[in-house]
């Protein structure tokens, strides 16, 4: 381990390349299904995926469409003119002997995102985004003297999003990776399913004591945000140790071993010239018109930044906002943000609704042991919350009983009931009748001489205890404000 003193002498520089799988129905250049998740090996293939002689690629229009959406999600616009190149390398899962990608004129140049670490925003510029075809998959069965090649993934459309080296800590790298995830999900560019490799990160890390960047390593194909963070931490320590020993960091490609929580060397890094890039003679350039770009811009959904802006206007804290942004992606059928949006002009109710989502409904839906009521529609949920807010406003429901009520309704296998009747049936209506509450406060005062003594001696905290006892005796139904007023009266305060 490197000591913090030594660590602080070094500046860390990080750039990230992210591959996201585009949400198209078919492959980038072939009319073959794209969903390789559960498919038997080599069932989603055509002669184009094998690169058989005489086949010609035809560009999937939908992939271009999604790349344009990605440009908007990265705060920029697509290039009007972009080209395809061949990147040559030899590997069994690449039968064509080259990958089709974009080198000289990619579809997106520039853009930026602004994630946060500890509430501090930092800017990460995007260098470029290129459309490219994925390779197949090789597996090496243990104990066997052969390898297996599955070409289902060969030709799957990817976007490679290349950042500038604008990150300087593991936390920033993780926050950036997560921000890309949110944006690509909200823009509906990709499912970003990390488990299925829909989104993978190549993390470039270097350290230096001077303004001149150090030699970097690239750790490839990381498939979790946590592993992005861990990779940076590990590489920073490892590289500093190498340098402190007077040795040199070698430019190489590494992998992440999640079980051992460390990176390991895979191969010495190639230089660009090793790939013998050349223009792809089979593919014309992509030429976009302003009208095409405007048409796609006009159909863009609300993106995370705009949601944050709207939620912030309600006075929600950042943690709550981020939880809502994330939860919105949990279940395509259950809306949170759209419902808040519907009532956003009723500021107080909108904020209350957001807080109920954060504190009650999201945890409830994420709790595997609870089964939410599937019969409740989004509009039914809104009606439940509105009726609950009205009961609170009319002093008929305490906030703790509101939680009980909401939880009961959301997990009961019925339609949304008439809320006030339901609250009555379940003894949740708040008791604001003075004589009824007074009867309880009198008992509580009689039963708790010590606390009463404390209150009389000026220890006002003890009042809270007495009110708590009243709530307990009334099964949570007594109006706590009223209880406190009555206790003070009865003690002559």
Q: How many CB atoms lie within 10 A of CB 322?
A: 18
Binding-site size for Mn ion (CB under 5 A) equals 1
Cα diameter, the chain:
98
Q: Does 160 bind Mn ion (CB under 5 A)?
A: yes
User: Which residue lies nearer to Mn ion by CB, 160 or 218?
Assistant: 160
Q: Does 229 bind Mn ion (CB under 5 A)?
A: no
Site residues (CB under 5 A) for Mn ion, limited to 324-363: none
- Minimum distance from CB of 54 to Mn ion (Å)? 27
Cα–Cα distance for residue pair 184/192, rounded to 1 Å: 7
Stretch that binds Mn ion, among 56-64, 153-161, 162-170, 172-180 (CB under 5 A): 153-161
From the number of C-beta atoms within 10 Å of its C-beta (0-12, 13-18, 19+), residue 39 rates as: middle
Q: Could you tell me the two tokens for 131?
A: 């459309």
Stretch that binds Mn ion, among 158-166, 175-183, 231-239, 383-391 (CB under 5 A): 158-166
Residues 6 or more apart whose CB falls under 8 angstroms from that of 101 comprise 84, 85, 86, 87, 130, 131, 132, 133, 160
- Minimum distance from CB of 19 to Mn ion (Å)? 6
- Minimum distance from CB of 375 to Mn ion (Å)? 46
- Minimum distance from CB of 24 to Mn ion (Å)? 17
Q: Does 85 bind Mn ion (CB under 5 A)?
A: no
User: Which residue lies nearer to Mn ion by CB, 36 or 170?
Assistant: 36
- Minimum distance from CB of 221 to Mn ion (Å)? 11
Question: Would you list the DSSP string of 98-109?
Answer: EEEE--SS-SEE
User: Which residue lies nearer to Mn ion by CB, 129 or 173?
Assistant: 129
Cα–Cα distance for residue pair 346/204, rounded to 1 Å: 47
Per-residue buried b or exposed e for 138-167, using 16+ beta carbons within 10 Å of the residue's own CB: eeeeeeeeeeebbbbbbbbbbbbbbbebbb
- Minimum distance from CB of 359 to Mn ion (Å)? 42
- Minimum distance from CB of 220 to Mn ion (Å)? 10
Q: Is 422 helix (H, G, I), strand (E, B) or coil?
A: helix
Q: Which residue is nearest to Mn ion (CB)?
A: 160
Stretch that binds Mn ion, among 160-168, 285-293, 301-309, 453-461 (CB under 5 A): 160-168
User: Which residue lies nearer to Mn ion by CB, 220 or 351?
Assistant: 220
Output the CA angle 143-147-151, nearest 5 degrees.
Answer: 145
- Minimum distance from CB of 90 to Mn ion (Å)? 17
Stretch that binds Mn ion, among 152-160, 240-248, 385-393, 425-433 (CB under 5 A): 152-160
Tell how far CA 426 is from the center of its chain.
38
Cα–Cα distance for residue pair 108/62, rounded to 1 Å: 16
Cα–Cα distance for residue pair 324/336, rounded to 1 Å: 7
Stretch that binds Mn ion, among 159-167, 268-276, 289-297, 384-392 (CB under 5 A): 159-167
User: Which residue lies nearer to Mn ion by CB, 160 or 280?
Assistant: 160
Which residues here bind Mn ion, judged by CB under 5 A?
160
């Amino acid at each position: 381990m490197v000591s913090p003193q030594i660590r602080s002498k070094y500046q860390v520089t990080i750039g990230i390349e992210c591959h996201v799988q585009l949400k198209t129905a078919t492959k980038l250049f072939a009319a073959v299904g794209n969903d390789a998740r559960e498919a038997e090996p080599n069932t989603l293939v055509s002669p184009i995926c094998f690169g058989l002689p005489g086949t010609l690629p035809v560009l999937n229009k939908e992939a271009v469409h999604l790349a344009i959406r990605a440009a908007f999600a990265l705060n920029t616009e697509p290039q009007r003119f972009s080209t395809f190149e061949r990147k040559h390398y030899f590997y069994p899962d690449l039968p064509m002997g080259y990958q089709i990608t974009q080198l000289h004129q990619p579809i997106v140049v520039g853009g930026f995102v602004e994630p946060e670490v500890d509430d501090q925003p930092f800017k990460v510029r995007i260098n470029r985004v290129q459309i490219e075809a994925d390779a197949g998959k090789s597996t090496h069965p243990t104990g066997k003297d052969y390898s297996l090649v599955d070409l289902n993934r060969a030709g799957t459309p990817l976007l490679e999003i290349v950042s500038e080296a604008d990150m300087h800590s593991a936390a920033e790298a993780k926050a950036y990776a997560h921000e890309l995830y949110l944006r690509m999900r909200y823009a509906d560019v990709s499912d970003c399913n990390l488990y299925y490799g829909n989104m993978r990160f190549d993390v470039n890390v270097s350290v230096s004591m001077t303004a001149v960047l150090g030699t970097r390593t690239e750790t490839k194909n990381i498939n979790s945000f946590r592993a992005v963070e861990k990779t940076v931490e590990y590489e920073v320590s490892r590289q500093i140790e190498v340098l402190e020993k007077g040795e040199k960091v070698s430019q190489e490609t590494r992998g992440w071993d999640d079980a051992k929580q460390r990176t390991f060397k895979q191969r010495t890094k190639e230089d660009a010239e090793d790939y013998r890039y050349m223009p792809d003679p089979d593919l014309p350039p992509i030429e976009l018109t302003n009208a095409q770009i405007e048409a796609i811009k006009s159909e863009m959904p609300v993106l995370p930044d705009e949601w944050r802006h709207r939620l912030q206007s309600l006075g929600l804290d950042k943690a709550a906002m981020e939880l809502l942004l994330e939860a919105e992606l949990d279940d395509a059928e259950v809306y949170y943000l759209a419902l808040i949006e519907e009532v956003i002009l009723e500021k107080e109710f909108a904020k209350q609704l957001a807080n109920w989502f954060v504190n009650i409904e999201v945890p409830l839906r994420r709790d595997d042991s609870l089964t939410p009521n599937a019969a409740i529609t989004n509009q039914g949920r809104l009606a439940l919350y509105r009726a609950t807010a009205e009961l609170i406003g009319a002093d008929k429901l305490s906030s703790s009983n509101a939680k009980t009520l909401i939880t009961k309704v959301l997990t009961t296998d019925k339609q949304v009931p008439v809320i006030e009747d339901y609250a009555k049936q379940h003894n949740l209506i708040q008791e604001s009748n003075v004589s009824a509450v007074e009867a309880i406060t009198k008992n509580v005062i009689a039963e708790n001489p010590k606390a009463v003594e404390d209150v009389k001696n000026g220890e006002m905290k003890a009042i809270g205890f007495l009110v708590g006892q009243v709530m307990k005796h009334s099964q949570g139904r007594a109006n706590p404000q009223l209880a406190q007023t009555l206790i003070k009266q009865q003690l002559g305060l």
